[in-house]
Structure 1
Amino acid sequence: MDLRTDLTFFNLLTGSYARLLGASLVREREHAEDAAAWLYHDAPFGLLAHNSADDPVFVYGNRRAQSLFGYDWDELTALPSRLSAEAPERSERQAFLDQVTRNGYVSGYRGVRIAKTGQRFWIERATVWQLIDEHGKLHGQAAMIPHTTALRD
């Protein structure tokens, strides 16, 4: 299923964010379709989501996230999310994700990530939250990345 502008998935992303953080992920728009399209095509921040599998795979990455990581939609949505961090950073990433699981969300996260090209960069001021629907079912986790900085080797 293609989740780029899927309204059910959009409602899961934005609804879980609003319930956990008490804020809106997108500005109010007259039509949900317009808001979903804006989030995928035009949002100024990266937005990623992975599923709840034992080895989670990205199921969503907006255009900004695709640009940051250097993957197109098909590549990104086949990528285990652990591969977005280098091996030495993966244990730190997992400890952070465990904290998100315990607390529901974490804001202000900073960590090193790796693009398809091998270029390393900092994600900064990221918010990561549980994708929990209105019935309490966990679907995975999502990350909003408002700022990045390239690392110099």
Structure 2
Amino acid sequence: MNETHARRLLNSYKHWTGKELIPIDSKLPLLEQLEESAVVILSHGTEPDPILNYGNAKALSLWEMSKEQFTKTPSRLTAEPMEREQRAEFFRNVTSNGYVDNYTGIRISATGRRFYIKAATVWNVLDEQGQYCGQAAAFRTIVRIES
């Protein structure tokens, strides 16, 4: 990921929600601030089976992957399959509203550990011309599921 993508994540989040994703220090590179954030932040591109293109340090740790492994992973493989209608409704809401707030779902790490993400925001990422270029998610609350 580069500073352009970092700016797109931040600007798109603000565009859809009216809020700042994280507090920004203008003296530090955006990418560094996203990387070190206490908020889990990840995104994927626009491929037919979207591939993750960014995960900050918290995301990589949570999914127990290296950056190289993470950015080769289809985003659908980080989650348990949703029921078809639930999944369809979720994507209709993101598409029509530009974002969905307060999303909760079960995710799976590379080693098979299951966890809930709670109160996540999922939003459409826009480029500098306002064109759709992927989706991103951010959340703070994680509940581990014991096997």
1:48 — aligned with what?
A: 42
Quick check: 2:24–2:33 contact (8 Å CA) kept in 1?
no
User: Which runs of structure 2 are paired with 1:1-153 in the superposition (5 Å)?
Assistant: 3=1, 6-31=2-27, 33=29, 35-40=30-35, 42-87=36-81, 89=82, 91=84, 92-93=86-87, 95-153=89-147
Q: Distance in 2 between matches of 1:140 and 1:17?
A: 12
In structure 2, do the counterparts of structure 1 residues 95 and 70 end up closer, same or farther at CA, with 3 Å as the change threshold? farther
Quick check: 1:121–1:148 contact (8 Å CA) kept in 2?
yes
Calculate percent identity across the aligned residue pairs: 36
Shift of residue 140 of structure 1?
A: 0.5
Quick check: 1:47–1:62 contact (8 Å CA) kept in 2?
yes
The DSSP-based 3-state class of the residue aligned with 1:131 is strand
Letter in 1 for 2:51: V
Q: Distance in 1 between matches of 2:109 and 2:103?
A: 18
Shift of residue 120 of structure 1?
A: 0.8
Unmatched runs of 5 consecutive residues or more in structure 2 = none
Q: Distance in 1 between matches of 2:28 and 2:117?
A: 28
Unmatched runs of 5 consecutive residues or more in structure 1 = none
Quick check: 2:94–2:100 contact (8 Å CA) kept in 1?
yes
Compute the TM-score of the two structures, normalised by the length of structure 1: 0.88
Compute the TM-score of the two structures, normalised by the length of structure 2: 0.92
Shift of residue 90 of structure 1?
A: 6.5
Q: Distance in 2 between matches of 1:94 and 1:49?
A: 19
Shift of residue 68 of structure 1?
A: 0.7
The DSSP-based 3-state class of the residue aligned with 2:38 is coil
Q: Deviations over 1:23-56 (max 9, x none)?
A: 11121312351x320211x211110100011100
Instruction: Report the count of equivalent residues.
Output: 146
In structure 2, do the counterparts of structure 1 residues 90 and 58 end up closer, same or farther at CA, with 3 Å as the change threshold? farther
Quick check: 1:82–1:90 contact (8 Å CA) kept in 2?
no
